[in-house]
Structure 1
Amino acid sequence: MRNKWSADELWNRSELVHALVESLLIACQWSNSVSNGFFPELGPAIGVGSAFDYWSSREDEPVYCQLVRLKPPRGHAFCLEPHIVAKESRIRVELQCTCTTQETVGPMLCFLHDPEEELRKKQKPSLLHTLCTGSYLDVQKTACWLQDLVSESTASMRLLRLRYYVLTVLPSSRSCKVQIRDVFGRTMLVEMMFGMQLGDSDIFMSSQPTEDIFTPSTMWTLSCTWAEAKFLWLMFDQTPDDSLLSCLQLCTRMVAGTGFSSYTLKTVVMHLLTTTPLSGWRRRHFLLRLDDIMRYLRCCLEEKRLNHFFFGNEKIPEEIVVPPALQRAEPLNLFQHLVQDPAAHEQAMRDFEELQHRLTTQLFFSGH
């Protein structure tokens, strides 16, 4: 049976999950450091997805997605390949000289310049020999490592915050899924994705799989989820009331079961927020803004083109940090499949009519 969550309940549970994951990561990082191995450092987690955007469908038990930042261990560097920002990239692991840093950060043999025999005897293997395939960081190996680390840290129960919960690691090839059960038997599902932050920006290369049937284990995908969340929170703060939130929540409910994803509607809304005055996003203009959303979507379907919000978009607020290469990039068409498949385009147009019918019916019975 599905639970119905109020907005406040969703927010409180999201905050609780985030605090538990932060505690868990502290325990994991402690285990990581005392092992004296050369594994990625675990940065703070970022809550991403609809459960943290505050517009999740209230009738569903959300999956609490957390993006965990990975940093290279000492003596290693992460390099994007190709060197341009793309939808999919590999992360090359390169060894760095540590000969001149030993006095400041402690003794360590240099993977590049100390004899191999001495390295084998006195030092744990480099990241290249543990979580990489060839020279590239392997998503599946990294997922298994993090799952083992979480299981070990959970078993030891080092932190008092975790003693009231039972954590169970679930199978997953490209993330770390954990079921959290409290003393009352209530459960929450957490999925920890992980990724490399692109410089100081709000964009990551993440372990999230692509839409392809098969994603190579050394392939990492561009993730703008944190940038999207920051953008929407900025818009929530700058719009006069909660009409924007209501629009997002209604659109999320209406697309369920259609050929459209909530991400498609969110992209439409984000484009409109940078092309229409924010003062117009208020309750008395609610129906007008919904009409704008549907008109924009229809236009995109007719033109078979919906641009990714962050590729080549010069209208992104300066508060959202995007790599310059991404802002200069050619626009990325999220509807490219409609160009290549006429049958898919016809189905999308039928899905649009169904979506419009649902929206009209919902507004009629809700008294708008």
Structure 2
Amino acid sequence: MERIQWPVQDLQEGCEWTTDLMDNFAIYFGHVLCNSFYPVLQRAIGVGSAFEGWSPREQDVVYRVLVAMNPPRGHSFQLELDTAGQRRGRNFRVRVQLECTCSREQQGENMLCFLHQPQEVLRSNQDASLLHTLCTGSYLDVQKTARWFYQLVRAIWPALPQSHNWHLVLLPSRRSCQFQVSNGAASFRIEVLFGVRQGDSDIFVSSQPREACTPSTTWPESYAVAEMKFFKCIARQAPPDSLHLKCLQFFSCLQLGSGFSTYTIKTIVMHLLSIIPVSRWRRRDFVRRLVDISEGLRFCVQVRCLNHFIVGNRSLPGEIRVPPEVQMAETCNLFHHLVMDPVAHSQAMSEYVD
């Protein structure tokens, strides 16, 4: 323990700064978009490793947030499951449908009905519907949404109090909005993802891709908010000297450059935290817990099975809201590719031994 050089970056400070910045953005988003037919943007939710309290890369910390979107006036969102399916999770498309607002017209609201007013009247008296701005066909387009959000950030930044002392640099991204803010002494890299909530649950469909070439109208199912809430729940139960996050961080750092993703290590640790009381993750237990993580990874590689922590898990804390179809689903094997490809399995075994 004494010889481990732990990261010195204050993740909590970065999370708080990012949250304050996104809250300020949200205020201006509300003012700018209040009478538009663009998505209604909700307050950002911190997700990912930094907001869970750990990071495998001190020099490359990304403060990731999810901005939920609600449909604007006269529109509704319908989530359509991609029937092709994915073994690592489900994919959706967000169908945008127009809703009748004739009653609003009769009540004197300043809005014409997209369904029942003539097109020439709409074109000359009202902004275009969401179908004609951020959609491809009838479906919400991730890349168009990202470009629109970039424009919002660029336009609103000068009005924020942070702009007086911080410098903003927008970074390229096709399915999210990434930017760097710095003031000479500190620097934060922030990634904004977009999502649509499934009912009132903690499960979203989001812009974060699951595969390398994800179509622009495909929104993969995201469990990031549920996973963040799991770590918050564990933190409330943990004693002050708990090292469960340091175990996760340390083992993830050891695996950087190997064939095992940080998400794989995180999944193993989440499973262990659900069966090993958090009181047994203290300083005196540090080596034992690292061995547990190592043995868990070895076993999962050997049997070619690592179950997703959220999908099909009927033992999640009650405060994590999961739709029945996700909670009662068949377990999702994150190592399915090892089942299908014996060569990949052999390589995984050799990489682990190395």
Deviation at 1:273, TM superposition (A): 1.9
- Counterparts of 1:208 and 1:275 in 2: how far apart (Å)? 30
1:353 corresponds to: 353
- Counterparts of 2:159 and 2:215 in 1: how far apart (Å)? 35
Q: 2:316 aligns to what SS in structure 1? A: coil
- Counterparts of 2:171 and 2:108 in 1: how far apart (Å)? 37
- Summarize the alignment of residues 198-277 of structure 1 with structure 2, pairs less than 5 Å apart: 198-211=198-211, 213-240=212-239, 241-277=241-277
1:309 corresponds to: 309
Deviation at 1:179, TM superposition (A): 1.6
- Counterparts of 1:177 and 1:105 in 2: how far apart (Å)? 41
**Equivalent residues of 1:90, 1:137 under 8 A apart:** yes
**Equivalent residues of 2:308, 2:333 under 8 A apart:** yes
Q: 1:60 aligns to what SS in structure 2? A: helix
What CA deviation, in whole Å up to 9, does each residue of 1:270-318 have, x standing for no partner?
A: 1122223343333323222222222222221111111111111111111
Amino acid corresponding to residue 115 of structure 1 in structure 2: P
**Equivalent residues of 1:42, 1:71 under 8 A apart:** yes
Deviation at 1:263, TM superposition (A): 0.8
- Counterparts of 2:272 and 2:161 in 1: how far apart (Å)? 46
- Counterparts of 1:185 and 1:246 in 2: how far apart (Å)? 26
**Equivalent residues of 1:197, 1:203 under 8 A apart:** yes
With 291-300 and 72-81 compared, the bigger mean Cα shift is at 291-300
Number of aligned residue pairs: 344
**Equivalent residues of 2:269, 2:293 under 8 A apart:** yes
**Equivalent residues of 1:196, 1:204 under 8 A apart:** yes
- Counterparts of 2:82 and 2:304 in 1: how far apart (Å)? 30
With 227-236 and 286-295 compared, the bigger mean Cα shift is at 286-295
State the TM-score, normalizing by the size of structure 1. 0.88
1:358 corresponds to: none
What CA deviation, in whole Å up to 9, does each residue of 1:97-156 have, x standing for no partner?
A: 1122457793311111222222122111110011000100000000010011111112xx
- Distance verdict in 2 for CA 1:231–1:102, change over 3 Å: farther
**Equivalent residues of 1:70, 1:195 under 8 A apart:** yes
1:10 corresponds to 2:14: no
Among all aligned residue pairs of Structure 1 and Structure 2, give the percentage whose two residues are the same amino acid. 48
State the TM-score, normalizing by the size of structure 2. 0.91
What CA deviation, in whole Å up to 9, does each residue of 1:27-53 have, x standing for no partner?
A: 2332223xx431001110111112222
- Summarize the alignment of residues 17-166 of structure 1 with structure 2, pairs less than 5 Å apart: 17-33=18-34, 36-57=35-56, 59-82=58-81, 87-102=90-105, 106-154=109-157, 157-166=158-167
Deviation at 1:92, TM superposition (A): 0.5
- Counterparts of 2:271 and 2:325 in 1: how far apart (Å)? 20
Amino acid corresponding to residue 326 of structure 1 in structure 2: V
User: Which runs of at least 4 in structure 1 moved beyond 4 Å after TM superposition?
Assistant: 83-86, 102-105
**Equivalent residues of 1:23, 1:162 under 8 A apart:** no
With 213-222 and 76-85 compared, the bigger mean Cα shift is at 76-85
- Counterparts of 1:92 and 1:37 in 2: how far apart (Å)? 19
Structure 1 residue runs without a partner (length 5+): 355-368
**Equivalent residues of 1:236, 1:245 under 8 A apart:** no
- Counterparts of 1:248 and 1:262 in 2: how far apart (Å)? 9
- Distance verdict in 2 for CA 1:45–1:104, change over 3 Å: farther
